[in-house]
Amino acid sequence: GAVVSQHPSWVICKSGTSVKIECRSLDFQATTMFWYRQFPKQSLMLMATSNEGSKATYEQGVEKDKFLINHASLTLSTLTVTSAHPEDSSFYICSAREGTPKSYEQYFGPGTRLTVT
């Protein structure tokens, strides 16, 4: 089956620094990738949708200048949390969808735990 990986699986950073999280589709080409955030005991909240080669579309309330998304290739998307603060500590999950028109399945990565101290 389709596999999506994320790196790193966890990261601790100091307040004010930036952190980059990678999301890769390992055995398929992902024309669309999604980034979610999940706080403890809450569901996944969609942050943004990115299509390869174009700018990401952010959900309402998500700061695009704080959460920079780059989807430069069909197998890689990155999320950079800029000037991180403790309230950005969360579980970040990416997912990817193949480019076939009939494909409705999204494949999810294992998540990245971000802790900002």
Partner 1 sequence: SQKIEQNSEALNIQEGKTATLTCNYTNYSPAYLQWYRQDPGRGPVFLLLIRENEKEKRKERLKVTFDTTLKQSLFHITASQPADSATYLCAHYSSASKIIFGSGTRLSIRP
CB nearer partner 1, residue 3 or residue 15 = 3
Between the CA of residue 29 and those of 37, 97, 110, what are the distances in Å? 23, 8, 18
Q: Is 88 helix (H, G, I), strand (E, B) or coil?
A: helix
The Cβ of residue 115 has, within 10 Å, a number of other Cβ atoms equal to 14
**Spacing of C-alpha 65 from chain mean position:** 15
Q: Is 94 helix (H, G, I), strand (E, B) or coil?
A: strand
The one among 72, 83, 110, 117 contacting partner 1 by CB under 8 A: 110
CB nearer partner 1, residue 7 or residue 82 = 7
| Under rule CB under 8 A, residue 42 binds partner 1 | yes
Smallest gap, in angstroms, from Cβ of residue 23 to partner 1? 10
Ordered alpha helix ranges (H), 1-80: none
CB nearer partner 1, residue 28 or residue 34 = 34
Interface positions, 60-99, toward partner 1 (CB under 8 A): 91, 93, 95
Residues that bind partner 1 (CB under 8 A): 4, 6, 34, 42-44, 46, 49, 91, 93, 95, 104-111, 113
